[in-house]
Amino acid sequence: RDKESGVYANIQKKYGLTKPENIFRVDDYDRNPGPLGLWLQEFLSVRETASPTAAHLLLRLLEEKGLLLRCYTQNIDGLELAAGLPRDRIVSAHGDMSRPSCARCCGQYPLTDFEHQIKSTGIPPCCQKVGCGGPVRPDIVFFSEPPRIPHDYQKDFDACDLLIIMGTSLNVHPFASLVTVYHLFVLGY
């Protein structure tokens, strides 16, 4: 979110949009999926070469030792899965790229077909359902949509002995407010 080199700054420079965050709004995507399609093309290209970091591998180690209750993430890149975490241990608050669907009728679309179309053209495919034709979107949370935090997340927080927060500035919600429900004792931040 850096004003010079962050996601929005790059989108604004590259596509000349005055409000680059609008590519992540459902109604804008439905009307004009092109800018997000081009961003997704770049995202998928980068994701292909991305590897889990030491932080992802630490989570896997904790899981292997039976010490990880849950991994809450805002990332949509799927690196937690790539690191070997089981899907049932991951809460993807902002969704992920694994289940594309139509922005209008919500019909499912094959992931491999979606990614192939985006990678080769930068243009999202259209829904194949008769009478629909809406743009297919990734399974990410757009602005104005609620994050995907389970209603019983407090049970996880109550059950854990240690809450590790890493890789975030805690400026983006819902995570910026979620941590306030845990009794924090912060060392040397």
The tens digit of pLDDT for each residue in 43-86 reads 999 999 999 999 999 999 999 999 999 999 989 999 999 999 99
Please identify which of the residues 56, 94, 151, 173 carries the catalytic annotation: 94
pTM of full prediction above 0.85:
no
* DSSP category for residue 170: S
Known catalytic residue at 94: yes
Which burial class, exposed, middle or buried, applies to 180 when counting CB atoms under 10 A from its CB (0-12, 13-18, 19+)?
exposed
